[in-house]
Amino acid sequence: MRDNAHEYFKYELVHECAQTGARAGVLTTPHGMIETPIFMPVGTNSAVKTLTCDQIEDTGAQIILANSYHLYLRAGTKLIKKFGGIHGWMNWHKPVLTDSGGFQVFSLAHLNKITEDGVEFRDPKDGKKHFINPEVSMEIQQDIGADIIMAFDQCAPYPCDYDTAKKAMERTHRWLERCFKAKTNPRQALFPIVQGAFFDDLRRESAAVISSYDAVGYAIGGLSVGESKDIMNHFTEFTAPLLPKYKPRYLMGVGTPEDLLNGIKHGIDMFDCVLPTRNARHGSFFTWEGKKNIKNKEFHEDDRPLVEGCNCYTCKNHSRAYLRHLWRCGESTAATLLSIHNTKFLIDFAKKARQAVMEDRFGDFYNEHYLSLIHI
């Protein structure tokens, strides 16, 4: 089965690093080009927490992610559609990706009822019943109007036994066919998702099934759900080469600096994570020497920026001492300034990795930075 979006989307694999499996590419969408590898900031409710769209754009973000589950429950997708879709709704004119909400629905284990048709669940805030299946998910995401939409999949719980993982994977495959049949908008690309939990043979089978669909790109789901970093890295390395070489590969919900390094090394092109803003709200900021916290007393008289040489708004204008003062005073501006820095740090990190790929030195880049980042 072929996605009807190929007229509006194109992926070019520009270069493969001679030292590793790292790749550099360009994905063209109706709202602009995306240079990969790329980190995508997460705006769950159509806003990256504490940041305006202008501030997000200033970080160099080429694409942001929103969550259709939350938008469906809170704003209502018909309202968003009235505003011309998510681009008009939030006044963001670059590409947007929406998750299907499957992960959120299945994480409500005590509030949901799963059948072959779909999932009935209760809103954890008000207890109201809702129902989502592949057809409803496609309707929701087409109303929202993101450039890239995700298949409605069943993410197996962690940990789980083999039979549970296999049943969830097989249902994901059956639902994928229904997603492609329900999806009609050619200006949206539908990415299938590899499942299979933590079993090599299931991951291999799932990758083969979803690769049989002629999609614009493909995603790896079901990782970063509580497993160790070693397990996550194994399944990233194992799964990525099983997906089509000349299509973008998206590792869902993964985005620490060391995760980017490992993913890029094994051929991943797209990443997203809430950590830049979540860490900022707890006072943490990214550096090339690992994660630090602005609350620490050592920064009381520190006149340096968060990271020397960083050209984000925060580092160009404010000292560590000032930011610590804001934090200690409970000023919300502190979280905003740290969010700006953390978001730009990861976006620039991906850009530097891309440059290393283009220059056939990503292996050296990896070795130079990995050990100092593993504590982030």
Q: Is the pLDDT of residue 374 over 90?
A: no
Would residue 279 count as lying in a domain? no
Q: How confident is the model at residue 205 (pLDDT cuts 50, 70, 90)?
A: very high
Residue of 99, 143, 147, 259 marked active site: 99
Domain that holds residue 243: 10-274
Would residue 330 count as lying in a domain? no
Q: Is the pLDDT of residue 58 over 70?
A: yes
Bridge partner residues of 34 (DSSP): 27
Q: Is the pLDDT of residue 79 over 70?
A: yes
Q: Is the pLDDT of residue 252 over 90?
A: yes
Tell me which DSSP letter residue 246 carries: T
Order of strands across the sheet that contains 270-273: 38-41, 270-273, 249-251, 218-220, 193-194
Would residue 309 count as lying in a domain? no
List the single range of 93-107, 250-264, 317-331 with lowest mean pLDDT.
93-107
The CATH number of the domain where 200 resides is what? 3.20.20.105
Would residue 299 count as lying in a domain? no
Which of these, 272, 262, 266, lies nearest to 243 by C-alpha position? 266
What burial class does residue 358 get, using C-beta atoms within 10 Å of its C-beta: 0-12 exposed, 13-18 middle, 19+ buried? middle
**132-171 pLDDT, tens digit each:** 999 999 999 999 999 999 999 999 989 999 999 999 999 9
**98-118 pLDDT, tens digit each:** 999 888 887 776 778 999 999
CA 72, 251, 256 angle in degrees (round to 5)? 100
Q: Residue 365, Cα to own-chain centre: how many angstroms?
A: 23
Would residue 361 count as lying in a domain? no
364 has catalytic annotation: no
Q: How confident is the model at residue 56 (pLDDT cuts 50, 70, 90)?
A: very high
Higher pLDDT, 243 or 105: 243
Would residue 340 count as lying in a domain? no
Q: How confident is the model at residue 376 (pLDDT cuts 50, 70, 90)?
A: very low
99 has catalytic annotation: yes
**265-304 pLDDT, tens digit each:** 999 999 999 999 999 999 999 999 999 999 999 999 999 9
Would residue 189 count as lying in a domain? yes
Whole-angstrom distance, CA of residue 40 vs CA of residue 149: 14
| Dihedral class, residue 20 (left if φ above 0, else alpha if ψ from -120 to 50, else beta) | beta
Residues in CB range of 156: below 8 A, 6 or more apart: 164, 165, 168, 169, 195, 197, 222
Domain count, the chain: 1
Q: Is the pLDDT of residue 55 over 80?
A: yes
pTM greater than 0.75: yes
Q: How confident is the model at residue 375 (pLDDT cuts 50, 70, 90)?
A: low
Q: Is the pLDDT of residue 188 over 90?
A: yes
Residues in CB range of 163: below 8 A, 6 or more apart: none
pLDDT of amino acid 191: 98
Average pLDDT over residues 32-54: 98
Whole-angstrom distance, CA of residue 376 vs CA of residue 373: 6
When the pLDDT of each residue in the chain is averaged and rounded to a whole number, the result is 96
Would residue 243 count as lying in a domain? yes
Residue of 147, 153, 259, 272 marked active site: 272
